[in-house]
Structure 1
Amino acid sequence: MNISIVPMSADHLDQIYQIERRAHSFPWKESIIRALDSRGACHHTLLVDGRVGGYFYAQNIVGEVSLLNIAIDPVYQGKGLGRQLLAFLLSLCEQQDAESVWLEVRASNLPAYQLYLNAGFNEVDRRFGYYPTENGREDAIIMSYFL
């Protein structure tokens, strides 16, 4: 597998939207996926042999980075690509002299939660009943990483 991580471009968006729908139980709307020019945007795409295999949407506002969305195509999950993509984000934040990275993760998403813990994120709080589920709502765990 030839892996590269590049700035997200409009050429990636059709594949990203397809992955978003396969990777998340409650995917972002297509209009949000296609909005690349938000304030402080630093969105990137992970390419596997030239095809989109994953991505993240992040926003850097005055040195505080919010990881808004990250996904690996289910076909490639479990191969370390999520760890690689997250490490790239943290390195990018260092290069941009960011002070911290913040994210929210579903309480039920134990693989992602463990990935963030292993990368050095700390749990700081919870938003109770934040995310929709098939049977109601679940908590969002707020995590931070200080550079």
Structure 2
Amino acid sequence: MTLSQAVLRPMRGEDLDWVCARETELHAFPWTRGNFNDSLAAGHELWVWGAEHGPDPAPLGYAVVRRAADEAELLDIGVAHHAQGRGVGRALLARLIDHAREHGATQFFLEVRPSNAAALALYRSAGFEAVGRRRGYYPAAQGREDALVMRLAL
């Protein structure tokens, strides 16, 4: 499968086992199944990215986006370890941005750990700029870690 063949589709109940397993592999403080269910109940957009057909229809990544009025906010994103370093995260983020723009968003926000160099590089390369800091936003091994608030004008 090439990235141009990847499909962004709404997350389904049967995806949650795969998504929760990836979340646990990827994040020191992962979202729980309850967090994903709460996001579904709140009306957030939960997405799976990957092949729908072919020899390997397994997902490559997932994301959770909240939209309100003319804003979108990336709440969670993950790319399976085996798919990292191949442009999957960049392609997934680009598709999420396009989707938000297509549905009337004029700006896209996210929070990121300052210690997450790979994510910061990805977001900056997509045009996001730091616009603020949330003190003690994330749990960390030694207390709490700040979050950088980043914004992309659409």
1:47-86 aligned at under 5 Å gives the runs: 47-48=50-51, 49-86=56-93
Q: Secondary structure at the match of 2:45?
A: coil
Per the alignment, residue 114 of structure 1 pairs with: 121
Residue of structure 1 in register with 2:35 after alignment? 32
1:98 to 105, 110, 113: 105
1:43, distance to aligned residue in structure 2 (A): 1.9
CA distance in 2, matches of 1:72, 1:44: 12
User: Which has the larger displacement, 21-30 or 2-11?
Assistant: 2-11
1:121 Cα deviation (Å)?
A: 0.6
With the length of structure 1 as denominator, give the TM-score of the two structures.
0.93
Say whether the 8 Å CA contact 1:46–1:54 is kept in structure 2: yes
Q: RMSD of the alignment, in Å?
A: 1.3
Q: Which residue of 2 aligns with 1:23?
A: 26
Distance 2:114 2:146 in 1: 6
TM-score (norm 2): 0.89
Contact 1:10 1:34 in 2 (8 A): no
Q: Which amino acid aligns with 1:37?
A: A
Cα deviation per residue 1:29-69 (whole Å; 9 max; x = unaligned)?
22112342323x22210124311221000011112111100
Write the letter of the residue equivalent to 1:142: V
Unaligned runs of 5+ in 1: none
SS at match of 2:97: helix
Contact map agreement 2:16 2:33 (CA 8 A) in 1: no
Instruction: Select which of 135, 140, 149 maps to 1:142.
Output: 149
Give how far 1:131 is off.
1.2
Moved over 2 A (4+): 1-4
Aligned residue pairs total 146
Unaligned ranges ≥5, structure 2: none
Q: Which one-letter code corresponds to 1:16 in the other structure?
A: V
CA–CA distance in 1 between the matches of 2:60 and 2:21?
Answer: 11
